[in-house]
Amino acid sequence: MAEASGGENTSSPSATTSTDSSDQAASGDSLKEKPTCILCLGMAGSGKTTFVQRLTAHLYAKKETPYVVNLDPAVKEVPYPANIDIRDSVNYKEVMKQYKLGPNGGIVTSLNLFATRFDQVMSFLDKKQSNEFKFAIFDTPGQIEVFTWSASGAIITEALASSFATVVVYIIDTARSTNPVTFMSNMLYACSILYKTKLPFVVVLNKTDIVDHNFAVEWMQDFEVFEEALSQDTTYMSSLTRSMSLVLDEFYQNLRTVGVSSMTGAGFEEFLKAVDNAVVEFETQYKPEYERLKKEKEEKAKKDREDQLKKVQQDLGKGEAVAMETIKTGAQAIESAHATPFHISLGADLDSDDDDERGDEEEWDEEEIKEHESFKRFLEKEKQKGQHAKKEESG
Ligand SMILES: Nc1nc2c(ncn2[C@@H]2O[C@H](COP(=O)(O)OP(=O)(O)O)[C@@H](O)[C@H]2O)c(=O)[nH]1
Ligand SMILES: [Mg+2]
């Protein structure tokens, strides 16, 4: 994986860090010296790539050169100067051929392959100072689910948030959200991403050059206005939407929304202000929580390691038991490698990499642990079945 040279010889802007009082509210001072990561998500065609292009141009004009990363393996042309381009590392067409996949599978697998090497991107970013690059901008694949509902998307997001102030930007095609039901679906998706990533969020209502975004802001602020817009629609879908929008009320309360046009560049200063606010939120709310969870997981991992070590030592005491351990069945071999369903479905090649990377600090979230537990139980059952069959054979 290589960095484009473009980013290296750019002039560093003089003063980029804002000095308002909100800065003092930030807890982690170390974060201040690192770039802020802006993760651009949104439905296909919402304008992510165009948005990244405009934002990059806007920042260049302000002499705040951003660090730009393209994570879309299938894009034909990248209309901005990318410091890191996934296409330089993974050939999506070749992945399709080699793994015998269609376009969607090809994109997902390419991103998975790239995620196994994401530590290199992290090390490039780690070397950057915020006076050199205040922002690192990430463009994501066209189809949103490739990133939001894949293991690699989660790995990339968590890796970034563990070292940098990270803000999720959810881009909406305002022109195509004038239908209340469509708007609602889009907001539900945004809501699901917010709760999944738990990161500070900015909703960007894009394409304001086509339709003014105020209708959407009004819908979020005033339920009655939204209800009135819905009243024209009497289908089952609309009654579902009505109840859903009541649920979303709380989500709207704390939402930062900005109207922009990636075509004309309108609204981008406002957007940057929203990002500054989101960074304060990251440092005061998310960072301490992340740190707490990280510590908890580290302690648990340490305890697990100690338990395992004890177990191994006990096994060592019983000579015969050790001999049996060496003849592992396939299932046991997988179990001992701490496999998750994710590892298995990716095949042997990726397994080895992932094990290396996870290595000592196994940062599993609760869901993964639960999955792992039930998978272990499954393996245990299989093992018993096997033993049972063997006994019957010999007996
Ligand atoms: N009028 C208008 N069109 C836009 C705007 N942003 C993006 N587009 C268009 O929307 C289409 C999809 O944009 P693209 O950036 O490729 O979307 P992506 O799939 O989310 O990356 C393209 O034809 C863009 O020219 C905007 O602010 N205004
Ligand atoms: Mg795109």
Question: What residue segments make up the domains of the chain, in order of their start?
Answer: 36-293
Ligand nearest to the CA of 171: 1
CA distance 160 to 50: 23
CA of 262, closest atom in ligand 1: 27
Give the amino acid at 301: A
User: Does residue 97 surpass a pLDDT of 70?
Assistant: yes
Which-ligand-closest: CA of 50?
1
pLDDT in tens, 18-31: 333 343 334 444 45
Residue 12 is predicted with a pLDDT of 36
Which residue CA neighbors atom 1 of ligand 1 most closely?
207
Dist CA 36 CA 137 (whole Å): 8
pLDDT one-digit tens code per residue, 203-220? 999 999 999 999 999 999
Q: Which residue has the tokens 């949103």?
A: 144
Minimum-distance ligand to the CA of 213?
1
At residue 57's C-alpha, the angle toward residues 53 and 58, to 5°, is 115
pLDDT over 50 at 10, yes or no = no
Give the pLDDT confidence score for residue 275 in this predicted structure: 97
Query: What is the pLDDT, as a whole number, of residue 270?
Result: 97
**Which atom of ligand 1 is least distant from the CA of 207?**
27
Q: Measured in angstroms, how far is the CA atom of residue 133 from the centroid of ligand 1?
A: 26
**pLDDT band, very low/low/confident/very high, at 324 (cuts 50, 70, 90):** low
The pLDDT of residue 13 is 35
How many angstroms is it from 108 CA to the middle of ligand 2?
Answer: 15
pLDDT at residue 131, as a whole number: 74
Atom of ligand 1 nearest to the CA of 52: 15
List the one residue out of 196, 87, 198 whose CA is nearest residue 149.
196
Cα–Cα distances in Å, from 215 out to 162, 212, 222, 253?
37, 7, 10, 16
C-alpha 81 to ligand 2 mean position (Å): 14
Contacts of 388 (CB under 8 A, 6+ apart): none
pLDDT tens figures, 333-351:
444 444 333 333 232 333 3
Q: Which of 13-17, 45-49, 125-129, 135-139 is predicted with the least confidence, judged by mean pLDDT?
A: 13-17
Instruction: Please report the pLDDT score of residue 336 as a whole number.
Output: 43
Rounded distance between C-alpha atoms, residue 146 and residue 141, angstroms: 7
Nearest Cα residue to 296 out of 375, 366, 355:
366
The percent of residues in the chain predicted with pLDDT above 70, rounded, is 79
With contact defined as beta carbons under 8 Å apart, do 81 and 4 qualify? yes
* From 229-233, 319-323, 331-335, the region with the lowest mean pLDDT: 331-335
- List the residue whose alpha carbon is closest to atom 6 of ligand 1: 47
Ligand 1 binding pocket (C-beta < 6 A) is 42, 44-50, 142, 206-207, 209-210, 261-263
Poorest-pLDDT segment among 118-122, 140-144, 353-357: 353-357
The first and second tokens of residue 150, run together, are: 């894949």
The pick from 262, 264, 268, 271 for probing ligand 1's pocket by mutation, whose C-beta has the most ligand atoms within 8 angstroms, reads 262
- Nearest atom of ligand 1 to the alpha carbon of 210: 1
Compute the distance from residue 133 Cα to the ligand 2 centre, in Å. Answer: 23
Which segment, 26-30, 161-165, 349-353, 366-370, is predicted with the most confidence on average? 161-165
Ligand 1 centroid to Cα of residue 261, in Å, is 9
Compute, in angstroms, the gap from residue 207 CA to the centroid of ligand 1: 8
User: Tokens 């929203």 correspond to what residue?
Assistant: 274
Report the pLDDT value the prediction gives residue 25, as an integer from 0 to 100: 39
Ligand lying closest to the C-alpha of residue 70: 2
> Atom 8 (ligand 1): residue with closest C-alpha?
47
Q: How far is the CA of 96 from the centre of ligand 2 (A)?
A: 19
66 neighbors 11 (Cβ within 8 angstroms): no
DSSP output for 88-154: HH--HHHHHHHTT--HHHHHHHHHHHHHTTHHHHHHHHHT--TTT-SEEEEE--SSHHHHHTSHHHH
The residue contributing the CA closest to ligand 1 atom 13 is 47
Judged by phi (left if over 0) then psi (alpha if -120 to 50, else beta), residue 222 lies in beta
Q: Among 151-160, 165-174, 238-247, 279-288, name the one with the lowest average pLDDT.
A: 238-247
pLDDT, position 388:
81
CATH of 36-293, one of 3.40.50.300, 3.10.450.50, 3.30.70.100, 3.40.50.1100: 3.40.50.300
Q: What DSSP state is assigned to residue 211?
A: S
Rounding to the nearest 10 degrees, give the CA dihedral for residues 311, 317, 319, 324.
-10
Closest approach atom of ligand 1 to CA 42: 20
pLDDT tens sequence across 13-72:
333 333 333 433 344 444 557 899 999 999 999 999 999 999 999 999 999 999 999 999
Measure the CA–CA gap between 125 and 122, rounded to whole angstroms.
5
User: Which pair of structure tokens corresponds to residue 153?
Assistant: 């998307």
Report how far residue 216's alpha carbon sits from residue 71's, in angstroms, rounded to the nearest whole number.
29
Interval between CA 197 and ligand 2 midpoint (Å): 21
Q: Measure the CA–CA gap between 138 and 140, rounded to whole angstroms.
A: 6
Nearest CA to ligand 1 atom 28: 207
Contact of 109 with 101, CB cutoff 8 Å: yes
Ligand at minimal distance from the CA of 267 is: 1
3-state secondary structure at position 67: strand
Cα of 47 from ligand 1 centre, angstroms: 4
